[in-house]
Structure 1
Amino acid sequence: MVGIHSTKTRFIIFLNLVIISIYLFGCNKAGRRDLGEKINLSRSETIKLNFLELKKDIEFITLSIPDSVYLGSIRSINSSNDYLLLHDPEIANKIYLFDKMGNYISQSKKTGEGPKEYLSLYAYATVMNSIFIYDRELRRINKYKLPHFNFEYSIPCDNYIQNLIQVPNSKNIIGVSDDFVNEEMYNGIVYFNQKMEEIEVESKFPGIIETTQFNNFSTIDDSLYYAEPLTETVYVYRNKKFIPKYHTDFGAMSIPFESVYTSEAENFYEIIAGGDYYYAIHNFNISNDLVSLNFFKKTIDEQLLGLYHLKDKKGVLIDLNEEVRDYVLNPMNVSDGYNYILLFPDEYSLATLKNLGMPDQRLNEIDLKNTIVVKFRYLDIPI
């Protein structure tokens, strides 16, 4: 937290916030034309479909896992170089490394406070064949060499980091920091070089950072996108900076802009209780001219899928009506142009796989004791 500001300093901060708010509110009224191409979902109808009715590219990857390896609570699946990385920051506190065919390779090492260890595997990013692991408790970043997590060195990190994201085909890394710059702003987006040295900080309002999760970042066709929640702006990383690319317009269903100022959950819940709002876009993906994204509807327990064709300027909102609904409307993240979900044994059935679109021949061969990675992307708007 920051110390006490002088009256003059506090007034300047307040004035800057007012100016930024007026500017963004004006952009909202004008359709945010200066914040990127509009994804206009303001008049799109909501339809209920089965997942099988959606045109998509989908693949099922069966993980080959040794009996000695236990997958806990996986938060994300990252496709990077030749690997799939599964991140469990809560139970096992590990990263599991697989090849693209699903064969187990290795996992991160033991936890501890030693020079080669970590206490909390809160976030990570890969650069080429190296991985940086951020330890939020010890406030440091360890670098390891893949594929066997051989320790290289450790550096201190003054920022509190929520996420780390690698920039495709680059040695640069993006961090999301929930440290306060002052009483009204968070550090926000932190730009690092390949040595994890801080290059620049782009401050953000508290509500934006508090609602930013790993699934707000997408790697697609060698580009990194950030679907900023609450402002509903999609940024793309260009020339060592995020620049606005698209803006999602929910029209009258848009959440009030004051939501970006909230740092406490109670205050945010009071705002969303005031209307049937659509908000906090995530899992942004784009294939050819088709944009797909997920977002919340009124509460954090209900989500919808939005599809929008940029060329035809047509969109549709989709709800699903079968058992795969929770998987499809809440994928873990988008990596290498695909939405990723994970099916654990005892949590899925043959009916689940059939409703996801697994071919009959594969269904006849599948072992329900396997853990399965499902990757998919949408190809068209349903007629």
Structure 2
Amino acid sequence: MSKFDFSDPELIPEGIKEWIQVKSNIQLSLPDSIIMGKVLQVEFSDSEIFLLESGMNASILVFGRDGTFKRRLFKSGNGPGEYAQIDFFLLRESSILIYDRSQQKFIDYQKKDFSSFEESKTMDYFMGGIGGFVGDGLFLVSDSEMQENLYKGYGFSNGDISQIDYSVENPGYIEAFLPQSISENGAEKWLVQSFSEKVFRITLDSLMLIRQIDFGSKKIPDEVASLSDAYELYEVIDQGAYYFAVHNLIWREDLVGFNFFNETIDNLNFGLIQNGKAYRFSIDSDLKELFLKPIAVRKGLFHTVLLPGEYDEEAIELLNLTEVDDEKPILVSYTIGQ
């Protein structure tokens, strides 16, 4: 198995501007009547952009690829076709599937106007996933417990949410899963398994091991895979200076980039491997906060949304924007490297 060597990264202590390669920025024409909260998820169809935002009530905002506002999925409640929360959503060919963990249900809305829907109750619990497979297939991550200290783990569905085939997994790997553990580069979708830092290609019915991030002596002990108790995990983390939980993986011909935790979950770092060299960035400035903590990796790029009040003249200069409505959010797509 090939590895990405991150055993001895060089710390880059200062500026980040020369490392950020902006590919596109789109000012989103959000109506004044909508106050956007923190953006938790971003997905793309061929013609539209879908953002899950956590305002006073969670909603999904839909924009054209030019930033034009199209519509909003906002059906908060406990009745049919309503959700108490949106934990994540999956795009399908003609619909959008949202998951409400508190009510243990999926709701499949027609994508064009959200007017019709189909609900599916589930006994299992889920933490995230991704769609976009042939035949509306789905990949899901479940933290539902089984006997013998195992979780249901990784689920594969051919489109029928009531028919999920599971590949059971150790609890530690699942408990450490983040939505950003899944990345997408067009046709290819990857899962980075936290703690093992193994990179899997996600297919319609299985995971294929293809790489591993090598942290060398910083690798967290293998025993964490069997831990389901957070206190036990913190005890292991406190015993050493470990790197762990790779997410937001971008893998292009010329570079590999990712987020990871450095010693504690309060110390998020960014890692880069380019031209055979490994670099580590601490996140210790406003600009780094904006660009070294992307929302997601989709279409082979990092994506983040800069909300009004978050971006200043330095950020605007980096984006090379000449006209800016500072009351509108900006969707930025970019890579990091030299």
TM-score per shorter chain, which class? Answer: over 0.9
Say which is worse superposed, 281-290 or 110-119, in terms of deviation.
110-119
Give 1:100 shift. Answer: 1.4
Q: TM-score, normalised by structure 2?
A: 0.93
Give 1:308 shift. Answer: 2.1
The residue identity in structure 1 corresponding to 2:109 is Y
* Gap change, CA 1:182 and 1:81, over 3 Å in 2: farther
Instruction: Give the whole-Å Cα distance in 2 for the aligned partners of 1:126 and 1:254.
Output: 35
Work out which of the residue numbers 243, 248, 256 in structure 2 matches 1:278.
243
Per-residue deviation, residues 86-139 of structure 1 (Å, max 9, x unmatched): 113574221111111111111113222322222222222111121111222222
* Gap change, CA 1:239 and 1:109, over 3 Å in 2: closer
SS at match of 2:234: helix
Work out which of the residue numbers 192, 195, 218 in structure 1 matches 2:157.
192
Say which is worse superposed, 141-150 or 51-60, in terms of deviation.
51-60
Give 1:83 shift. Answer: 1.7
Please name the residue that 1:316 is paired with: 279
The correspondence of residues 88-127 of structure 1 with structure 2, limited to 5 A, is 88=53, 91-127=56-92
Instruction: Give the whole-Å Cα distance in 1 for the aligned partners of 2:251 and 2:325.
Output: 33
* Structure 1 outlier segments of 4+, above 6 Å: none
Please name the residue that 2:104 is paired with: 139
- Whether the 8 Å CA contact 1:113–1:119 is kept in 2: the answer is yes
Instruction: Give the whole-Å Cα distance in 1 for the aligned partners of 2:104 and 2:20.
Output: 45
Please name the residue that 1:164 is paired with: 129
SS at match of 2:267: strand
SS at match of 2:294: coil
The aligned length equals 338
Please name the residue that 1:244 is paired with: 209
- Whether the 8 Å CA contact 1:303–1:329 is kept in 2: the answer is no
Structure 1 segments unaligned to the other structure (5+ residues): 1-32
The correspondence of residues 323-342 of structure 1 with structure 2, limited to 5 A, is 323-342=286-305
- Whether the 8 Å CA contact 1:187–1:201 is kept in 2: the answer is yes
Q: Percent identity among equivalent residues?
A: 26
* Gap change, CA 1:55 and 1:107, over 3 Å in 2: closer
Instruction: Give the whole-Å Cα distance in 2 for the aligned partners of 1:314 and 1:136.
Output: 42
Instruction: Give the whole-Å Cα distance in 2 for the aligned partners of 1:71 and 1:130.
Output: 23
* Residues 1:85 and 2:43 aligned together: no
Give 1:241 shift. Answer: 1.2
Work out which of the residue numbers 225, 234, 237 in structure 2 matches 1:260.
225
Instruction: Give the whole-Å Cα distance in 2 for the aligned partners of 1:89 and 1:193.
Output: 30
Give 1:57 shift. Answer: 4.0
Work out which of the residue numbers 304, 308, 325 in structure 2 matches 1:367.
325
The residue identity in structure 1 corresponding to 2:325 is D
- Whether the 8 Å CA contact 1:49–1:321 is kept in 2: the answer is no
CA RMSD of aligned residues (A): 2.0
Instruction: Give the whole-Å Cα distance in 1 for the aligned partners of 2:102 and 2:125.
Output: 9
Instruction: Give the whole-Å Cα distance in 2 for the aligned partners of 1:235 and 1:55.
Output: 27
Please name the residue that 1:175 is paired with: 140
Please name the residue that 1:63 is paired with: 28
The structure that is helix-richer by fraction is 1
- Whether the 8 Å CA contact 2:22–2:332 is kept in 1: the answer is no
Give 1:48 shift. Answer: 2.4
- Whether the 8 Å CA contact 2:108–2:119 is kept in 1: the answer is yes
Instruction: Give the whole-Å Cα distance in 1 for the aligned partners of 2:133 and 2:334.
Output: 20
Please name the residue that 2:262 is paired with: 297
